[in-house]
Chain A
Amino acid sequence: MTPSTLRTGLPARFERPPVSRAVLLVAAMAFLAWAFAGSGLDAGKLARGIPAVGSILDRMIPPSLERLDSILLSLLVTFQMAVAGCVLGLVLSLPLAVLAADGLSPHPLVRVAARGLIALFRTVPDLVWALLFVIAVGLGPAAGVLAIMVDTIGFAARFFAEAMEETDKGPREALTALGARRLGLIASAVVPDAMPAFVATSLFCLEKATRASVVLGLVGAGGIGVELKVAFDLFDYDTASTIILVVFALVVLVEQAGAFLRRRLI
Chain B
Amino acid sequence: MNDVERTAVTTATWPAVGAEPAPALQVEALVKSFPGGRRVIDGLDLTVAAGEAVALIGANGTGKSTLLRMAVRLVEPDSGAIRLFGEDVCAARGRTLSRLRSRVGFVFQKHNLVTRLSALSNVVHGVQARRSGPRTWHQAWARRVDREEAMACLEAVGLADRAMQTVGSLSGGQSQRVAIARMLMQRPELVLADEPDASLDPRAGEEIMGLLARLARDKGLGLVFVSHHMEHAVGFSDRVVGLAGGRVALDRPAAGTDPALLEAFFDGPQATERVVPLRRVAMGAAS
Contacts from A to B (Cβ < 8 Å): 168, 170-171, 173-181, 183-184, 187-189, 192-193, 195
Nearest-neighbour CB distance to chain B for A95, whole angstroms, equals 15
Q: Pick the contact of A188: B102, B105, B137, B183 (CB < 8 A).
A: B137
The interface residues of chain B lying within 8 Å CB-to-CB of A180 are: 98, 125, 128-129, 132
Q: Are A183 and B114 in contact (CB under 8 A)?
A: no
Nearest-neighbour CB distance to chain A for B105, whole angstroms, equals 7
Q: Taking chain A's interface residues, is the majority helix, strand, or loop, or is none over half, making it mixed?
A: helix
Q: Are A179 and B99 in contact (CB under 8 A)?
A: yes
Nearest-neighbour CB distance to chain A for B177, whole angstroms, equals 15
User: In the docked arrangement, what's the CA distance between A171 and B114, Å?
Assistant: 6
Q: Pick the contact of A173: B74, B125, B186 (CB < 8 A).
A: B74
The 7 closest A-B CB pairs, nearest first, are A170-B112, A179-B102, A179-B101, A174-B112, A179-B98, A180-B128, A177-B106
Interface string of B98-141 (1 = CB under 8 A from A): 11111011101011111111000000011011001110111000
Which of A178, A183, A184 has the most B CB atoms < 10 Å from its CB?
A178
Does B72 belong to the interface (CB within 8 Å)? yes
The interface residues of chain A lying within 8 Å CB-to-CB of B116 are: 192-193, 195
The interface residues of chain B lying within 8 Å CB-to-CB of A170 are: 108, 110-113
- Beyond A177-B104, A178-B105, whether A184 also contacts B129 by CB under 8 A is no
Which of A173, A175, A179, A189 has the most B CB atoms < 10 Å from its CB?
A179
User: In the docked arrangement, what's the CA distance between A183 and B98, Å?
Assistant: 13
Nearest-neighbour CB distance to chain A for B65, whole angstroms, equals 12
User: In the docked arrangement, what's the CA distance between A38 and B132, Å?
Assistant: 60
The interface residues of chain B lying within 8 Å CB-to-CB of A188 are: 114, 125, 128, 136-138
The interface residues of chain A lying within 8 Å CB-to-CB of B136 are: 184, 188
